[in-house]
Amino acid sequence: MVYEPGANIALSQTSETFVAKLDESLLTGLPPFSRLNREQIREILDHATSRRYDEGTTIFREGHDAERFYLLLDGYLRVVRTTPGGDQIIVLHIAPGQLFGIAPALQRDTYPASAIAAAESIALSWPVRLWADFTASYEGFATESYKTLGTRLGQIQETLTEMATQAVEKRVASAVLRLVNQSGRKTGEGIEIAFPVTRQNISDMTGTTLHTVSRLLSAWEKSGIVRSTRKHVVVTDPHRLVLLSDV
């Protein structure tokens, strides 16, 4: 049995009970654990703490001391950076099954960005002092973690490049497509983004104004490309959105 990211996980019991009952086999398909046996995964889980985060909760803040690192079991996260001018930009979304808050992998003592729950989420966490032990003792934990980090840095660079070089409509279309590719699920209307997304969120992802995002989404709705409400976006014509992102 392999853990399925996004599966609904109940956390009505205490953190200790939840972790103790978490079946090691549920994590064997996740990159940090993929080369480990059940006994090794159990050893790692025995050091973990679990916690549920309501939508909108800040898990940690940019610049604060990195005291723990995390594994997202359920939900979605927004990674937010603050610009020198004080503006906040959503540079990344994190899906279930991924490590986050791994400041020691960057040789940092502080978090390089803030992590905010985009939906109700559940995460495991460990004291940062265990990072060196895990990467030294468990085969694949380090290499798979650094692969994740490299992919993530590439995604952030792509986002920042789009913001600096692309026309507004193209980068808004690209941002919505990234959300669809990461979390989209098919419905009768089209492909639905699986977590709450507001127009302000899209504005923060693309470095444009709320007014501009609202104007574009309204135009796309009239053209039959998307349907959106206050926190809900469905792409009804993905092909046309792809064409807009490639203009």
- Given 131, 163, 195, the domain boundary residue is 163
Tell me: do 132 and 199 sit in the same domain: no
Instruction: Tell me, yes or no, whether 108 and 210 share the same domain.
Output: no
> Is residue 5 a part of any domain in this protein?
no
Q: Is 133 found in the same domain as 235? A: no
CATH number, domain of 67, equals: 2.60.120.10
Q: Lowest mean pLDDT: which of 12-21, 61-70, 220-229? A: 12-21
CATH number of the domain within which 182 lies: 1.10.10.10
Q: Are residues 141 and 27 in the same domain?
A: yes
Last residue of a domain, one of 109, 139, 163: 163
Within a domain: residue 231? Answer: yes
CA 39/CA 36 separation, integer angstroms: 8
Tokens 């800040």 belong to residue: 58
The dihedrals phi and psi of 154, each to the nearest 5 degrees, come to -65, -40
Note the pLDDT tens digit of each residue in 26-66. 888 888 898 999 999 999 999 999 999 999 999 999 999 99
What is the band of 94 on the pLDDT scale with cuts at 50, 70, 90? very high
Distance CA 119, CA 201 (A): 13
Lowest-confidence pick of 4-13, 218-227, 231-240: 4-13
Domain that holds residue 196: 166-245
**Does residue 134 share a domain with residue 31?**
yes
pLDDT at 31: 86
Is 2 inside a domain boundary? no
Last residue of a domain, one of 115, 148, 163: 163
Looking at the structure, tell me whether residues 151 and 203 fall in a common domain: no
Residue 247 pLDDT class (50, 70, 90 cuts):
low
Match 């995390």 to its residue by tokens. Answer: 70
Q: Are residues 147 and 54 in the same domain?
A: yes
Q: Specify whether 187 is located in the same domain as 125.
A: no
In this structure, are 132 and 209 located in the same domain? no
Average pLDDT over residues 116-140: 94
| Pair 158, 196 in one domain | no
Number of independent structural domains in the chain? 2
